[in-house]
Amino acid sequence: MKRFVLATLVAFGLTSAASAQVGDLVWEVGADGTVELTNPTAAAIVFDGYTLACEAGCLDEAGWRQLGVAALADPGTAIATLGAGALSFGPLGTPDATSQLSEANLANSATLQPGASWSFGKPFAGTLSQISDWVTGGQLTVTMSGQGAVLAAPIEVVPEPSSVALAGLGLAGLIALARRRR
* pLDDT value of position 45: 85
CA distance 17 to 19: 6
pTM: 0.60
Report the pLDDT averaged over residues 117-122: 90
For the stretch 143-182, pLDDT in tens is: 544 443 434 444 444 555 677 777 888 888 889 888 887 7
At 140, the pLDDT band (50, 70, 90 cuts) reads very low
13-70 per-position pLDDT tens digit: 333 334 566 667 777 777 777 888 888 888 888 888 888 877 767 888 888 898 888 8
Q: What secondary structure does DSSP assign to the chain, as a single string?
A: --EEEE---B------TTS--GGG-EEEEETTS-EEEE--SSS-EEESEEEEEESTTSB-GGGB--HHHHHHHSHHHHHHHH-GGGGG-EEEP-S-TTTEEEEE-SS--EEEPTT-EEE-B--B-S-HHHHHHHHHHS-EEEEEEETTEE---B------HHHHHHHHHHHHHHHHHHHHH-
